[in-house]
Copies of this chain bind each other. A is one copy, B any other.
Amino acid sequence: MLRSGPTGARNAPALEQINAEVFTLTYGSIVRQLISDYEDIEEVNKQLEQMGYNMGIRLVDEFLAKAKISRCSSFRDTAEVVAKQALPMFLNVSANVTNWSPDQTECSLVLTDNPLADFVELPDEYRELRYCNVLAGVVRGALEMVNMEVECRWVSDMLRGDDCYELRLKLKEHRDEKFPYKDDD
């Protein structure tokens, strides 16, 4: 139903913005819809992540074009670009990259503000809901498009009483681009 990302991105006017509350309410609607569709909260978490993944693989093209950056070479650089450029561009928030593992394959993106969750309070029966899981999926999808297979999961969540939102990234594979691109025509 949606045209392919790159074509759409080229046609789009530069960085249009819309009101964040409309977005927050729209996102809230989809979470509610998924909860009513799937009784199992774990399944809702999965669906939100998958939805984000589908968005991430589209958004990366717009991001690379608008930010005028080429593909990131290291996981370390990439995490910084996500935190300091991609999140500000798309969600109007920024994150800090912290808690690097000694082998530089794991880090955390820490947010203290999150428009996805504005005005949201989780009732007790939804304690296991990863309300912002779409963002974990977006990051996974976007990084996959730059050849980094990562696992993303929320380890802190202000909706569950933590003092920040902490998304843990774990690099599982960084594939080299061994082959030159080939057009499909």
Contact = CB atoms under 8 A, between A and B. Distances in A.
Interface of A: 1-3, 8-9, 11-12, 15-23, 25-34, 37, 47, 51, 54-55, 58-59, 62, 89-92, 115, 118-123, 126, 134
A23 B25 contact: no
Contact of A18 (B1, B25, B115): B115
* Copies of this chain, count: 2
Query: Nearest 10 A-B pairs (CB), nearest first?
Result: A8-B119, A16-B20, A17-B17, A30-B30, A25-B55, A19-B90, A29-B51, A18-B20, A23-B23, A22-B90
A91 B21 contact: no
Contact of A33 (B15, B33, B121): B33
Contact of A59 (B11, B16, B22, B55): B22
25 contacts: A1-B122, A1-B123, A1-B126, A2-B25, A2-B120, A2-B121, A8-B119, A11-B119, A12-B21, A12-B118, A15-B19, A16-B21, A17-B18, A17-B92, A18-B90, A18-B92, A21-B62, A22-B90, A25-B55, A25-B58, A26-B27, A26-B30, A29-B55, A30-B30, A33-B33
A91 B59 CA distance: 20
B22 A55 contact: yes
Q: Most chain-B CB neighbours within 10 Å: which of A18, A55, A58?
A: A18
